[in-house]
Each structure stands twice: as C-alpha cells, then as structure tokens.
Structure 1
Amino acid sequence: MTLERNVARLFRLNDENWMKHANPWSVWTRYSVLPLIVLAFWSRVWIGWWCLIPGIASLLWLFLNPVFFPKPRSTRNWASKAVLGERVYLNRDRVDIPGIHKTPLYAILNAISSVGMGIAIWAVVTYSVWGAVLGVALAYLGKSWYLDRMVWLYEMMKSEHSEYRGWDY
C-alpha cells in the first residue's frame, strides 16, 4: 500500500470523493489553507488564545475541502487533471506507470514542500515574517511543480487505461 493511499484514506477519498476533489474550486481554495493557518496562529500576538478558533477552522477546512465541492462539470482543466494524476500516481502499485514517472523527482518535490512547511511552522513560532514568506513559497513551489507533473502523468495514462479515460469529460 502506498503512502499516498494512506493519506487519501485519511481525507476520505473514495471514488466519489476523488471526483469532488477534482473540482477546480477544491484545488484552488485548498491553496488558501497554508497562509490561513500561518495567519491564524500568528494572530496569537493580537488575540491570544482566541487564535485557536481561526486556526482550528483552517485545519478543518484542510480536511473538509476535498469533499466540500460537487463533482466538476468538466475535468478538462489543469486543476482537475492534477488531482486525477495524483489518483493515478496513488494507484501505481496496481496499475504500472511509465518509466519516466518512476523518478525521485516526486519525492524531492514533496521534500521541498515539507521543508517549506517546516520553515513556515518555525516562522510562526519565532514570528519571522521572512521565514513565513519563504516557507509558504517553498511549500507552494514544491506542491505546484508536483501537481504539474501529475497533470503530465494523467495525460499519459488516460490514453492507456479505460478507467482513467472515463475520468476525462
């Protein structure tokens, strides 16, 4: 079982919910989560323990977002293809992916994103504005590049596998 499959289970991503998450609104609004979390916990300077309310709300949005929106009217857009590519990549232990996608690049991009998250957390603790900006930027750089590679993977695999082709509408 892949790590990604375990993460998908945590976010309740079954067949129906994967398609909901493929809604571009889900993808683009999910980009709002990290800055909201940083701002929420940074606000402890101004509002004290009340910062937990926007902080917890942001974390809840992180978990509810993938299933909040309806299925998209079309999956022929970058955001939907990125999510569907993630689903293809998650399924690589059952359906083989092309050799060009069996690369450490995906782990490197996830590591860049994770380092960015770590820097953002450190920045919130130490009130470093530049650390927060750098951390969020690194997290988004890694994640966006990773998602772009997932679009490429999906585009390659949909022509080779009937189930994946059925996601294209």
Structure 2
Amino acid sequence: MTLERKIANTFHMDEETWTRHANPWSFWTRFTVLPILILAVWSRTWLGWWSLAPIAIALLWTWINPRIFAKPQSTNHWASKGVLGERVWLNRDTVPVPSHHQQIPNVLNLVSTVGMAFVIWGLVALDNCFALLGCALVYLSKLWFIDRMVWLYEDMRHTHPQYQSWLY
C-alpha cells in the first residue's frame, strides 16, 4: 500500500469523497488549509490556550473540504484532472505508472515536506520569514505536483477502465 493511499484512508477518502474533491471549488479552496492552520497555530501568541479552538476549526476544514462540494458537472478541468491523477498515483502499486512519472512526484513531495519543516520551525520560533518560506515551498511544489498529476492522468486514462470512467 502506498503512503498516499494510507493518508487517503486516514482521511476516509472513499469513491464519493474523491468525486466531490474533483470539483474545482474543492480543489482551489483546499489551498486555504495551510494559511488557516498557520494563523490558528500562530494565534497562540494572543489567544493562549483558546487557540485550540481555531486549530480545531482548521483541522475540521481540512477534513470537511473534500466533502462539502457537489460532484462536479464535468471533470474535464485542470484541477479535476489533478485530483484524478492523484488517484492514479496512489494506485501505482496496483496499476504501475510509466517510468517517466515515477521520480518527480517523490522529489516534489520531499520539497513539500522540507517546506512543512520550515513552516513548523517558523511556528515554533514565531519567525514569519521561515513560515512564509515554508509556505511558498509547500505551495510551489504542490502546484507542480498537481501539474504532474494532470500529465499522469492524461497518460494513464486509457489504460484502465476505472480511470476512463472518472473523466466526464
């Protein structure tokens, strides 16, 4: 089982949730999660223990975001195909992906992880430069990753009947 599938299982991403997450509104509003979480954690400086409330709200938003939007009328959008590509990527242990798609997503996930380390350090040290640098690394690598997932989906959509059914 891929790490990505374990993470998806942790978030209880079933077929219906993935379909809703392919809605471009879900995709784009997902980018609000990190700034909201950063602000919530940073709020400890002025809210003290009460900052746990905005932190809980931020975590709830992380979980609820892929669920609150309707199934998209069409998945023929860059954002939707990025989500579909993520599904192909997490399924790569069952349906192998072409070799030219195997390394870059891992490198981009590593860059994103380094970015999150900067964010965490920035939050611990209350250093907004580290937090912003980390946030920039996370977003740049995530957007590049999604672009790679669109490419992966386009390359793989005709290789598996389930993948074909996702595009409408």
Q: TM-score, normalised by structure 1?
A: 0.94
Aligned: 1:12 with 2:1: no
Aligned: 1:53 with 2:53: yes
Q: In structure 1, the residue corresponding to 2:92 is in which secondary structure?
A: helix
* Structure 2 unaligned residues grouped into runs of 5+: none
User: Structure 1: which amino acid aligns with 2:167?
Assistant: D
Deviation at 1:69, TM superposition (A): 1.5
Q: What is the aligned partner in structure 2 of residue 130 from structure 1?
A: 129
- Given that residues 78 and 151 in structure 1 are in contact (C-alpha distance below 8 angstroms), is that contact kept between their aligned partners in structure 2? yes
Kindly provide the CA deviation profile for residues 87-114 of structure 1, in whole angstroms up to 9, marking residues without a partner as x: 01111111121221122x2111101111
Deviation at 1:159, TM superposition (A): 2.5
Deviates more, 1:157-166 or 1:138-147: 157-166
Distance 1:161 1:44 in 2: 48
Distance 2:98 2:71 in 1: 28
User: Structure 1: which amino acid aligns with 2:106?
Assistant: A
Distance 2:147 2:39 in 1: 27
- Off by >6 Å, runs of 4+ in structure 1: none
Distance 1:5 1:97 in 2: 15
Aligned: 1:118 with 2:117: yes
Q: In structure 1, the residue corresponding to 2:76 is in which secondary structure?
A: coil
Q: What is the aligned partner in structure 2 of residue 66 from structure 1?
A: 66
- Given that residues 120 and 132 in structure 1 are in contact (C-alpha distance below 8 angstroms), is that contact kept between their aligned partners in structure 2? yes
Distance 1:158 1:129 in 2: 42
Q: What is the aligned partner in structure 2 of residue 107 from structure 1?
A: 106
Q: TM-score, normalised by structure 2?
A: 0.95
The count of aligned residue pairs is: 168
Distance 2:22 2:11 in 1: 14
User: Structure 2: which amino acid aligns with 1:56?
Assistant: A
User: Structure 2: which amino acid aligns with 1:32?
Assistant: T
Kindly provide the CA deviation profile for residues 120-154 of structure 1, in whole angstroms up to 9, marking residues without a partner as x: 11111111111111010011111111111000000
User: Structure 1: which amino acid aligns with 2:128?
Assistant: V
Q: In structure 2, the residue corresponding to 1:95 is in which secondary structure?
A: coil
- Given that residues 119 and 132 in structure 1 are in contact (C-alpha distance below 8 angstroms), is that contact kept between their aligned partners in structure 2? yes
Distance 1:93 1:44 in 2: 41
Distance 1:52 1:158 in 2: 43
- Given that residues 23 and 71 in structure 1 are in contact (C-alpha distance below 8 angstroms), is that contact kept between their aligned partners in structure 2? yes
- Given that residues 11 and 66 in structure 1 are in contact (C-alpha distance below 8 angstroms), is that contact kept between their aligned partners in structure 2? no
Kindly provide the CA deviation profile for residues 46-73 of structure 1, in whole angstroms up to 9, marking residues without a partner as x: 2222211111100111112122212111
Q: What is the aligned partner in structure 2 of residue 85 from structure 1?
A: 85
